[in-house]
A and B are shown apart, each in its own frame.
Chain A
Amino acid sequence: MSADNLKTDTPNDVEPGDSVRPGHPVQVSRYTLPARINHWITALSLVLLALSGMALFTPKLFFLTGLFGGGQWTRVLHPWIGVVLFFSFAGLFLRFWRANLPAREDGTWLARISDVLRGREERLPEIGKYNAGQKFVFWGMSGLIIVLIASGIAMWDQYFYAFTTIEQKRVAVLVHAVAAVCIICVWIIHVYAAIWVKGTIGAMTRGKVTGGWAWRHHRKWLRELVGKPRRPVPRPGTPAE
């Protein structure tokens, strides 16, 4: 067993590219450039999908089709943007899923959600790279995107009309609408949390957060990073545990 394994419950918490640079203040690399590009492609797709989807969801917002070149173009583009989002998010999923696996402290975090909302983080357990709220956003997005792509294909009449019955299409449009409402709510939580917790947005723009930010919100991850060897050492064999 490597020394690294001794230190944490979840050795997968530290992702490739995460590192600490001592200084004043301490700089912590949280997201690599490819991860950030991947994130922003996904984000742009999701926003465009929400706008075009809402245009077709309620007549009050039909005017939003103007952003896409009219109703016909909105109908054409929406599913294709969905395909972009699906593959782009798949990239994020592969990058982030390990660090989003449930950890023991998630239960405590959730049980003390009122302290979370009051910003009393000194009363919370030390958190790895992601807290339970971020994990909820991650898995919520993952699940909903699967539901949305599946129901979306069932209602993508231009190419897939023949593959489903009309009754199945009716189920699909209803499921698609409900899932879209859910994912927009998850998105609101995600964006709000990034705005509320100061110093977070830099993680997705410049890829870095300050040491204080990591200390305050993701102390367990920070400790793991500090204890991490400078260069990743290949693990000796497969641990037998």
Chain B
Amino acid sequence: MFPPIPNPSVASDAATPRFGEKDVMRRSASEVTPPAQRLTEVAKLIDVSKCIGCKACQAACLEWNNLTEEIGFNHGTYTNPMDLTPDTFTLMRFTEWVNPETENLEWLIRKDGCMHCEDPGCLKACPAPGAIVQYSNGIVDFQHDNCIGCGYCIKGCPFNIPRISKVDHTAYKCTLCSDRVAVGQGPACQKACPTQAIVFGTKDEMKDWAELRITDLKSRGFENAGLYDPPGVGGTHVMYVLHHADTPSIYAGLPDNPRISPLVDAWKGMTKYVGLAVMGFAAAAGFLHYVVAGPNKVSEEDEENAERLADGTPPPAPPAGLHEGRTP
């Protein structure tokens, strides 16, 4: 068993946050100088093989974050609500999967939510300065005061996590309980998990712990057991132990090889720089042209010709060979 995080201290200084603004490593739509020293990276490890689907984590998440989910409908599945919402930061997704090798029905239960990517697509896509920050311990957090509700984070996210609230029109997702972690506590979901399927600690500790779990799973015949810490997004600060790590997508569509979409990269990279350059060039070309060619002015002769035409006096004929149309 992984040593549980001790209960909070009652000492008066225990509530002082241990990280904050000074530890911001990345800030959306802003340039920041990363802190000289990085905090120890934290991670949440979700061991899918130990999950019993009790949803205590889902309830704890609502409770800690003071959220109330709408009463929904039974859609014939344990998954409830049917998708992440602005109020449901974490969601148990239940999949009934027939293992083609053993023909056994396997009940795959995955706790879905923000993965806290090392290379966060949401932050990259966000146009509002400071609406998304990444702390040097790896936590990616939304700052609702700065959020404009455009939904670009949704397009940037490779995991389809953020949701825009219809109430305050800002984006919501798992915070990795940054407020709890700041005072030395684990996330609420981890605290509530009765089977230690969710554990929390430093990223290195979590990797070591995952290794033990994977060895155990392999000894029980799950030869494809492995850690899900996708390199396409630089690794994540929420990791899974999967019994079928060769096919993550069987776990309710967990991306096999997540990465920030090349479309988003092109949009936020090339398009921005080339676009600004092209517009700048067009304006500069106009200016230069004016300087070089000078204004295109109507001459006195043009006015006289027009007057003659309007008076019915034949004005000069169109230059031969230039005008192919018939003239009166």
Contact = CB atoms under 8 A, between A and B. Distances in A.
Contacts of A197: 295-296
Contact of B303 (A121, A155, A195, A215): A215
B72 interface: no
Given A124-B322, A174-B263, A174-B267, A72 B327 contact: no
B322 A166 contact: no
Interface residues of B, number: 61
Contact of A26 (B276, B296, B310): B310
A104 B324 contact: yes
A56 B150 contact: yes
A71 B315 CA distance: 59
B151 interface: yes
A177 B267 contact: yes
A57 B296 contact: no
Contacts of B293: 117-119, 196
A75 B149 contact: yes
Interface residues of A, number: 72
B128 interface: yes
A24 B274 CA distance: 49
B155 A166 contact: yes
A226 B311 CA distance: 9
Contacts of B164: 157-158, 161
| Interface SS, A side | helix
A26 B307 contact: yes
Nearest to B277: A181
Contacts of A216: 298-299, 302
Given A58-B272, A216-B302, A170 B282 contact: no
Contacts of A167: 261, 263
A122 B302 CA distance: 11
Interface of B: 29-30, 127-129, 146-152, 154-155, 160, 164, 169, 261, 263-264, 266-267, 271-272, 274-276, 278-279, 282-283, 286, 289-290, 293-300, 302-307, 309-311, 315, 318-319, 322-328
Report, nearest first, the 9 A-B pairs whose CB atoms are least far apart: A211-B306, A71-B148, A212-B303, A59-B29, A212-B302, A192-B286, A181-B275, A157-B151, A215-B306
